[in-house]
Structure 1
């Protein structure tokens, strides 16, 4: 669910940057945001609905003893691959769309590059999402996946979404550490409309 809400956060940020002049893009962003949230919700529901009782997910001996029934694991894996592909595509789209908007803003080139680099973190989220999606076929094993590399890939993807969605703090860090200007430095987070 963190992936769905992370993408919603980035989408709301993009909508805020766009303003009211890009209503067609806004309509697409709202649709994509709702679809991402629905796909993440369905993935959670399908995960817990695939075995009765749910304990059979982490205790496969229940199925072998006939005390539990499970769907074929390929159903869950197929939906997970679909949802993962969609979310990776959304990461890429949420990285590219703001660049086309920010480049048209009346701000300094230095600030445009900084904002585009920060919003471009979605590309890294897309790459990690694609890697994670390619590994999702391991779900058919119904083993404990909590300690595999999938967890670290998902954590990296969520980290990139967090950086991208919290651009105000990221810009403050960028201005404080990458482009230090000690004379004009303040602890008030910078906004996009400041020069």
Structure 2
């Protein structure tokens, strides 16, 4: 509930950029997420990582809504251009909006990163790789819980954060330390989730171009870490006595970019089936009037004999349990999918 005398701040400069970036990335993120959801529902393949990504998407969308509210309450504007100044109700409402935005940011990232790790677990066979991914999942939720608790007890009473009641708060150096810890963990885990799939895929028996394409799709999360690095200098905003909300606008902007890119990157592997479906509907150049499925079947039978040795040469042995995430006995399997990335887009339990 806003205080008496609250006014909407006039947006321009950084405050306007916060609003435009948030709306733009929210639209892109929503488009990619609903494409992923549509593919999963069409093939009846909703899995645990889809539910985690759905939770992360909803929480991130709420975070984006609070980021827009931040802009309308002076975040990104100097104190002199905020209605009522630094001691006015609009400024206090901006502090409250930042408080709520932080809570949803930290919580959403835990769900998003866990979804990405579960996706990679479908192609991770070696024990240390699986242990590493489960460790990242546990660490993501642990960090989120600890930091959320810190934000809730940062000031006593809690209304002291947005200047509604007198009280005390932890020093600003604690906020800066928390920012660097969060950013450091995000950067390390982002790059692990980028490098590990490339390491796994590069050992599979498939064309080099396909390896590069799949590595890019599964490693797109590294772009989120770039936004995290750019955001780090904005932590100095906590030491600003004047124009605090203006300096905080940079942090809000790059954080929105970071989390929305993470959602988009986490949804890309599922969209691979959409691209394959579009390609399969195109007529063959050699036989424009032929049935593509029939041509694929003939091609598969003619190449099966000669490719058995090649397939065994570089492809790791894959369990044939029908309930295994690495199974290869499935309808419409092609040679290029055997022992490769089929488990990323097909249902199956994840082995701990």
Give the TM-score normalised by structure 2: 0.46
CA separation in 2, counterparts of 1:126 and 1:38?
20
CA separation in 2, counterparts of 1:127 and 1:55?
34
Q: Which moved more, 1:79-88 or 1:128-137?
A: 128-137
Q: Which residue is 2:108 aligned to?
A: 2
Q: Verify: 1:84 aligned to 2:183, yes or no.
A: yes
Q: Is the 8 A contact 1:95 1:120 kept in 2?
A: yes
Q: Which residue is 2:253 aligned to?
A: 152
Which of 86, 93, 114 does residue 192 from structure 2 map onto? Answer: 93
- Structure label with greater radius of gyration: 2
Q: Specify the SS of the correspondent of 1:17.
A: coil
Q: Deviations over 1:133-156 (max 9, x none)?
A: 332232344954797132221222
- C-alpha distance 136-170 of structure 1, shift in aligned 2 (>3 A): farther
CA separation in 1, counterparts of 2:190 and 2:139?
13
Q: Deviations over 1:46-100 (max 9, x none)?
A: 11211112222222x74xxxx2111112112212211211111111111111111
Q: Verify: 1:170 aligned to 2:170, yes or no.
A: no
Q: Is the 8 A contact 2:221 2:266 kept in 1?
A: no
Which of 198, 222, 247 does residue 123 from structure 1 map onto? Answer: 222
Q: Is the 8 A contact 2:234 2:248 kept in 1?
A: no
Gaps of 5+ in 2: 1-106, 284-291, 294-336, 344-352
Q: Is the 8 A contact 1:102 1:116 kept in 2?
A: yes
CA separation in 1, counterparts of 2:245 and 2:161?
9
Which of 103, 126, 136 does residue 22 from structure 1 map onto? Answer: 126
CA separation in 2, counterparts of 1:40 and 1:55?
22
Q: Which residue is 1:193 aligned to?
A: 342
Q: Verify: 1:53 aligned to 2:154, yes or no.
A: no
Number of positions where the alignment pairs a residue of Structure 1 with one of Structure 2: 181
Q: Is the 8 A contact 1:43 1:80 kept in 2?
A: no
Give the TM-score normalised by structure 1: 0.78
For residues 58-73 of structure 1, the aligned pairs below 5 Å read 58-59=162-163, 62=165, 67-73=166-172
Q: Is the 8 A contact 1:58 1:144 kept in 2?
A: no
